[in-house]
Amino acid sequence: MRKRRPIEYLLLSCALLSIIFLFAIAISLFKEGLPIFKVVSPVKFIFGSHWYPAHDPPEFGTLPLISASLLIAIGALIVAVPLGIGSAIYMTELAHPKIKEIIKPILELLASIPSIIYGFFGMVIFAPFIQRIFNIPTGLTALTASILLGIMAIPTITSIAEDSITSIPNNIREASYALGATKWETIIQAVIPAAWSGILTAIILGMSRAIGETMTVLMIAGGAAIIPKSFLQPVRPMTATIAAEMGEAPMGSLHFHALFAIAAMLFLITLGFNILANHIKEKRI
């Protein structure tokens, strides 16, 4: 018992340090971001349609950046959800154990590839392909970013959905078979509804993953700070704006504080997604 206590204290210290670091990050973001609202009203900052921080006078409307992030995240979910949920269902319900041993490491490998590799692949190979297919001036568009972010989100969605489906008791499947249901009817009408809370959690965390990605969208989204009207336009998400402009924003300037305010909004958005996912998981709705 005495030997276990030092280990418990060590683990408790690690957990407390994680919480302290989280609060420190949040405090620094809001401390540096809030001063922008002394000059620009929150409504104009969020719903303003122009982002021109270098103009005189500067304009700090983040609606183009927010709408670009949401558009790319929705596009990524359109790609990732069918492939991720389908992969999870196949591995848990249909795949032979030997085939599962091959597919699962491949999906885990997708998660381990650095985002800059995805961005490089998208910029050099995939963007020209999109440009040729749709006959548009550039392939660096929201569609390109959405497809690649969707591929990047597949491992997250698949892993969480697989855990949720695996946790469903076998007696639910056996009861469905006893009523005369086929394999597919059991999956669609019994297993998926029973695992729905976990599947929905996987989708929400996958969207959080897509919204928070930086390097890939910086390289392949196009970098145009405009309100997008279609997936075939260049866009600039919030994360790409911070990465592209933080190096050139003088410390303490309005531009500097505006970028921190964007980071604070991203923090709140991802925090909200994680709280919602945890609520769904705990409440089983």
Give me the CATH number covering residue 270.
1.10.3720.10
How confident is the model over 205-223, as pLDDT tens digits?
888 888 888 889 999 998 8
pLDDT at 141: 94
For the residues 95-103, what does the mean pLDDT come to? 84
Q: What is the pLDDT of residues 12-60, one digit of tens each?
A: 888 889 889 989 989 999 999 999 998 899 999 999 889 998 887 888 9
| pTM as predicted | 0.88
Residue 1 clears pLDDT 60, i.e. is over it: no
Return the exposure string of 129-152: e unless at least 16 CB atoms fall within 10 Å of the residue's CB, then b: ebbeeeebeebbbbbbbbbbbbbb
pLDDT band at 118 (very low <50, low <70, confident <90, very high): very high
| Range name among 73-77, 166-170, 259-263 with the lowest pLDDT average | 166-170
Total of domains in the chain: 1
Handedness of CA 18, 239, 208, 79 (dihedral sign): negative
Residue 247's alpha-carbon distances to 36, 59, 105, 182, in angstroms, are: 18, 19, 38, 59
Question: 4: pLDDT confidence band, cut at 50, 70 and 90?
Answer: low
What integer is the mean pLDDT of 120-140?
A: 93
3-state helix, strand, coil in the chain (%, to 5): 75, 0, 20
pLDDT given at position 46? 92
Q: Whole domain around residue 95: which residue ranges?
A: 4-283
- Report in angstroms the alpha-carbon separations of 150 from 188, 194, 268: 24, 25, 22
CA distances from 122 to 144, 197, 215, 242, 258 (A): 7, 33, 11, 20, 29
pLDDT value at residue 272: 87
Task: Report pLDDT for 274.
Answer: 82
Band the pLDDT of 2: cuts 50, 70, 90: low
pLDDT at residue 54 in the model: 82
Partners of 52 in beta bridges: 59
**Which pairing describes strands 59-60 and 51-52: parallel, antiparallel, or unpaired?**
antiparallel
Please check whether residue 248 is in contact with residue 193, taking contact to mean a CB–CB distance below 8 angstroms.
no
Distance CA 150, CA 235 (A): 17
Encode pLDDT of 131-189 as tens digits.
999 999 999 999 999 999 999 999 989 988 998 898 888 888 888 888 888 888 888 88
